[in-house]
A and B are shown apart, each in its own frame.
Chain A
Amino acid sequence: MLIDVRPVAKLTGPDPVDVAAVLAPVFTALSSAAVDLARLRVVCDWIQYRHNFYQPVEVRPVLANRPHRAEPGGEQARPAESGLEIAIDMRRCSDGDLAARVARALAGQAGQDGAGHVLLEPWQPASESCLWRFNTLYWQALSRWEEATGREYEQALPGGRSEARDTGAAGDLIRELLRVWDELDARRALPEEIYVAELGVGNGSQARTWLDTFTELDRLHGRDYHRRLHYLMGDYSAHVLDRARKAVAHHGDKVSTLVLDATRPQQTLAFLRGKAFCVYISNVYDNLPTDDVASIRGRPYLVEVRACLRRTDAARIARRYHTRPAELTALVHRLLRLGPDLLAEALPDRFPATSDAVAFWQETWSALRLQERYVPLDGLDAYQVTPAITGEILRPLVEGCGDVRMHVSNGALASFAGTLPLLHPFGRLQCHDLFLTGPGSYLTGFHGPGKYDGSVVNWVNGPLLVLAGHRRGFDVQITPLARRPGGHVKTLTAQVRD
């Protein structure tokens, strides 16, 4: 039996967590459970997100083999298990009888598959879960969500935006660019068109700060690079783009806006290949789909999930919207397909106004939970992190940490790897986000997923991006924010090396 207590920082100091108080009830429950303790892992986390996807006690099977895909509508045999994980959220486990919770969770796991829940989807890698369709819906129907909550989404973010207003940091970067452009110009190697791009534009304050600072410094510099500059603003949400555009309206046609998928930047920005002198990305990567992989006793696993609602939550939501729990799955998927406006139009009996459909969306999102299981991989190389990158890239990180579970940051890696080719040989990528700086961080803390308003947040596997950049000939650094060195948001910078 293996016990893994991850939030080690909380075990010391003036008010340490009482681990014995957590583990004693667990052992009490296990003493009478029909569980092979030799194959059991107890994992204690501290889930800092008040809104998250987990119960205080979760039981996760470790499968012996990859299960066969079930035929549509067919019954699937319960896959053989080679182990079991009991996951405890130490922040919430003191509420109520923990031993009874563990016993119930074990009994539930041993019983009929999915019993006690309304399942919204089959088992699948987390990056394919419907939770990301909820996330997409949030950005597409952001104005509706904001109307319902009465606050703008930036108020829910962890404060990374203030860096966007740092004229000092922008000035340093711009002065460096002016120096590079002078050198290239002297060799007749400076392109006629100079591109700077921003992916994920927020409220436009980064663009405004950058362009205002650039205009002033370029004027003082006296080479009129401003004439050649094009500032491209790209975002997934047309609503966000429209709002950001207003912030830089005084820069006129120097600025272009593009709706784009951050995970596939070259789909929209292929014309920039090798031309961008600066690409700026802020608070985007932590909101992109990710899988988790794990190494358990030296074997690699992919974490599969399925979104569900607890029966009690499902019954409450169904009652309120005049439907039955069994019909909720179809109704949720209809919401995700149509959005709240069209859902209200399509089902006026249940949703007389759009605000009712938004309320249904918010309640379902709030109640959404994830069940998880570990599925063995035939080899890391057999797992595709992105269409162009195999799991082989994970090997140095996974193999160096013993038993570990980590984010793959698939969306962030796809975005990062897709952005690097856009850079001019003397260009740079600068990114502010929730970056982990070492794979060991996964051994000592919980880093998502959590819920921020209607969106999903996961800390980004920084070491993976560093490694991927390195393998593409880039020097990648992750450093604390200049203005808030103690904060969680960090700066990643990538430039060509060698």
Chain B
Amino acid sequence: MAPAAPATAALRSTRLATTVVGSYSVPEWLGRLKTDYYQRRISAHHLDEIHDVAIKAALKDQELAGVDIVSDGELRRDNDIDYLLTRIPGVAIPDRAKTDYYDYYDAEVRAPLPESAGMSPGLAADYAFTREQTGHPIKFSFTGPFSLSRRIRDTGYADPADLVRALARKLNAQARELAEAGADLLQIDEPFLAGYPEQVDVAIEAVNIVTAGVAVTWALHVCYGNRYARPLWEGHYDFLFPAVTSARVDALVLEFARKGFDDLRLLKEHAWDRYLGLGVIDVKSAEVEAADLVASHIRRALEFIPPERLMVNPDCGLRHLPPEVARAKLRAMVTGAAQVRQELGARTSP
């Protein structure tokens, strides 16, 4: 397998580059096997092998669908929070039993996190495995410090913002390791931020701690939640602006397909001059969008942002969709993007 092509170069050279947000469909049988692991029916070794196979299949699905920038589908992760929290020294998880793998642990921080200790095991090995399996450019995503902090009972910090900052420093160390391993498109996911709009400044400050000194292309994904394919919050993206303009990221990846495209105006109003990851696929509905509909969404976005700065992706992760639906939605997304690309003229060469 040829080494993965740089994602950053793909982004720059491809108008309307198609990608995913992160997670990929978790079939029922895989969910069952994951739960079997937590109930001690299969070993960690067997589960690792199962994950290896599942990730290879997820990559193949994305490649066959024609997605330009692929991900490992976050298939090793039990959920968006615990996979990271269990690796952070100083985060206490008294009870590690789960009746279902997707449940959240009850996590607690009783004292300031030890600054010297890194996350163990780190995320770079996950990226390295993915890189061995595909020649496509790769996006690697992880949950951001603000959302991680919302799942921790914090008795260790006088100011809750200090926990967010401490988590950000841990993630910054991870980002450095990922960059060293070759990752060049990293994405911070903040699925809980929309529920705490008054704390957007702290969240953005923490994002800047994560990205500091890591010379990759950075994306920030903010949605309204996708836990169990349900929105956790409702509202609009007004709260993100203008704070997010001070985030040291190269791309904003936002949810539009489910909620509508009215918030695109915010990008113009606040002169967003970086990339936009445009959510064109509703991941909370099993109804497969027509490629024409995807194309119309993209055309609408082009009224606010030029094609050179537009990425095309689903609203959020695909984990809750059945595999056949996820595949069909990705195909529709790729076809819709290709339609608009054709309308715009020949694909720009590097």
- Chain A residues lying within 8 Å of B77, measured Cβ to Cβ, are none
- What residue in chain A is nearest B35 (Cβ atoms)? A396
Whether the pair A425, B228 counts as a contact (CB closer than 8 A) is no
Whether the pair B100, A421 counts as a contact (CB closer than 8 A) is no
- Chain B residues lying within 8 Å of A70, measured Cβ to Cβ, are none
> Is B233's CB within 8 Å of the partner chain A?
yes
- What residue in chain B is nearest A380 (Cβ atoms)? B32
- What residue in chain A is nearest B81 (Cβ atoms)? A498
CA distance A395 to B100 in the complex (A): 12
> Is A363's CB within 8 Å of the partner chain B?
no
* Known A390-B28, A498-B104: A472·B230 in contact at CB below 8 Å: yes
- Chain B residues lying within 8 Å of A187, measured Cβ to Cβ, are 197, 235
Q: Which of B29, B99, B232, B234 contacts A396 (CB 8 A)?
A: B99
- What residue in chain A is nearest B232 (Cβ atoms)? A425
Interface residue tally on B, bucketed by range: 10 to 19
Distance between A271 CB and nearest chain B CB, rounded to angstroms = 14
- Chain A residues lying within 8 Å of B229, measured Cβ to Cβ, are 472
* Known A189-B235, A381-B28, A392-B28: A425·B100 in contact at CB below 8 Å: no
Q: Which of B1-59 contact A (CB under 8 A)?
A: 28-29, 32
CA distance A341 to B235 in the complex (A): 53
> Is B227's CB within 8 Å of the partner chain A?
yes
Q: Which of B29, B100, B104, B197 contacts A471 (CB 8 A)?
A: B100
> Is B114's CB within 8 Å of the partner chain A?
no
- What residue in chain B is nearest A469 (Cβ atoms)? B228
> Is B306's CB within 8 Å of the partner chain A?
no
Distance between A194 CB and nearest chain B CB, rounded to angstroms = 13
The total of interchain contacts (Cβ-Cβ below 8 angstroms) comes to 38
Q: Which of A449-498 contact B (CB under 8 A)?
A: 470-473, 496, 498
> Is A402's CB within 8 Å of the partner chain B?
no
- What residue in chain A is nearest B230 (Cβ atoms)? A473
Whether the pair A425, B28 counts as a contact (CB closer than 8 A) is no
One digit per residue, 1 when the CB lies within 8 angstroms of any chain B CB and 0 when it does not, for chain A 377-416 equals 0000100000000101001100000000000000000000
Whether the pair A274, B231 counts as a contact (CB closer than 8 A) is yes
One digit per residue, 1 when the CB lies within 8 angstroms of any chain B CB and 0 when it does not, for chain A 402-445 equals 00000000000000000001001100000000000000000000
Interface residue tally on A, bucketed by range: 10 to 19
- Chain A residues lying within 8 Å of B235, measured Cβ to Cβ, are 187-189
CA distance A274 to B229 in the complex (A): 12
CA distance A159 to B197 in the complex (A): 47
Q: Which of B104-119 contact A (CB under 8 A)?
A: 104
- What residue in chain B is nearest A381 (Cβ atoms)? B28
Whether the pair A392, B32 counts as a contact (CB closer than 8 A) is yes
- Chain A residues lying within 8 Å of B231, measured Cβ to Cβ, are 274, 425
| A contact patch SS | mixed
- Interface centre among B28, B100, B230, B233, by most chain A C-beta atoms within 10 angstroms, is B230
- Chain B residues lying within 8 Å of A470, measured Cβ to Cβ, are 99-100
- What residue in chain A is nearest B228 (Cβ atoms)? A473
- What residue in chain B is nearest A424 (Cβ atoms)? B234
Whether the pair A471, B28 counts as a contact (CB closer than 8 A) is no
Whether the pair B197, A473 counts as a contact (CB closer than 8 A) is no
CA distance A464 to B228 in the complex (A): 17
Distance between A389 CB and nearest chain B CB, rounded to angstroms = 10
- Chain B residues lying within 8 Å of A381, measured Cβ to Cβ, are 28-29
- Chain A residues lying within 8 Å of B228, measured Cβ to Cβ, are 471-473
* Known A187-B197, A390-B28, A392-B28: A496·B100 in contact at CB below 8 Å: no
Distance between A477 CB and nearest chain B CB, rounded to angstroms = 16
Distance between A336 CB and nearest chain B CB, rounded to angstroms = 34
- Chain A residues lying within 8 Å of B234, measured Cβ to Cβ, are 189, 274, 424-425
CA distance A425 to B228 in the complex (A): 12
Q: Which of A188, A390, A425 contacts B233 (CB 8 A)?
A: A425
Distance between A385 CB and nearest chain B CB, rounded to angstroms = 12
One digit per residue, 1 when the CB lies within 8 angstroms of any chain A CB and 0 when it does not, for chain B 219-237 equals 0000000011111111100
- Chain A residues lying within 8 Å of B100, measured Cβ to Cβ, are 470-471
Distance between B264 CB and nearest chain A CB, rounded to angstroms = 19
One digit per residue, 1 when the CB lies within 8 angstroms of any chain A CB and 0 when it does not, for chain B 228-249 equals 1111111100000000000000
- Chain B residues lying within 8 Å of A496, measured Cβ to Cβ, are 230, 232
CA distance A390 to B27 in the complex (A): 12
CA distance A425 to B225 in the complex (A): 11
Whether the pair B32, A395 counts as a contact (CB closer than 8 A) is yes
Distance between A270 CB and nearest chain B CB, rounded to angstroms = 11
CA distance A146 to B228 in the complex (A): 45
- Chain B residues lying within 8 Å of A424, measured Cβ to Cβ, are 234
CA distance A13 to B235 in the complex (A): 60
Q: Which of A177-221 contact B (CB under 8 A)?
A: 187-189
Q: Which of B32, B102, B197, B230 contacts A425 (CB 8 A)?
A: B230
Distance between A469 CB and nearest chain B CB, rounded to angstroms = 10
> What are the 6 closest A-B residue pairs judged by CB atoms, nearest first?
A473-B228, A472-B228, A189-B235, A473-B227, A392-B28, A498-B227
Residues of B at the A interface (CB closer than 8 Å) are 28-29, 32, 99-100, 102, 104, 197, 227-235
User: What are 12 A-B pairs with beta-carbon distances under 8 A?
Assistant: A189-B234, A189-B235, A274-B234, A390-B28, A424-B234, A425-B234, A470-B99, A470-B100, A473-B230, A496-B230, A498-B104, A498-B232
Residues of A at the B interface (CB closer than 8 Å) are 187-189, 274, 381, 390, 392, 395-396, 421, 424-425, 470-473, 496, 498
Other than the given A471-B102, A472-B229, 6 more pairs (CB < 8 A) read A189-B235, A381-B28, A381-B29, A421-B230, A425-B234, A470-B100
